[in-house]
């Protein structure tokens, strides 16, 4: 899986960090998403897909993956 986050679109809601803490973090300055791992391991994929669903701004996109 490969993902992309749009920091311009992110509103810093933090849902992705709660859902997939190994993959996303938040900037301590502006609260916006920081991708920790743009190519998450297979065991992370369910959490990443959930993060895409729960993100209120649509800032997370899955570019490739099963
Ligand atoms: S859930 Fe979406 S809006 Fe919230 S921090 Fe993550 S990417 Fe940003």
Atom number, ligand 1, closest to the C-alpha of residue 12? 5
User: For 32, what's the count of Cα atoms within 13 Å in the CB-facing half-sphere?
Assistant: 12
Indicate whether residue 57 lines ligand 1 (CB < 6 A): yes
Token duo for residue 43: 């065991």
| Per-residue pLDDT tens digits for 11-66 | 999 999 999 999 999 999 999 999 999 999 999 999 999 999 999 999 999 998 66
Given ligand 1 and candidates 32, 47, 54, 58, which is best to mutate, with the most ligand atoms within 8 Å of its CB?
A: 32
pTM above 0.85, yes or no: yes
Give the C-alpha distances (Å, rounded to integers) separating 60 from 10, 51, 66.
8, 8, 16
pLDDT at position 64 = 81
Indicate whether residue 12 lines ligand 1 (CB < 6 A): yes
């Amino acid at each position: 899986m490969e993902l992309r986050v749009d920091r311009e679109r992110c509103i810093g809601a933090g849902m992705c960090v709660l859902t997939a803490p190994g993959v996303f973090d938040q900037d301590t300055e502006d609260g916006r998403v920081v991708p920790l791992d743009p190519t998450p391991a297979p065991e992370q994929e369910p959490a990443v897909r959930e993060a895409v669903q729960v993100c209120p701004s649509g800032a997370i996109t899955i570019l490739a993956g099963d």
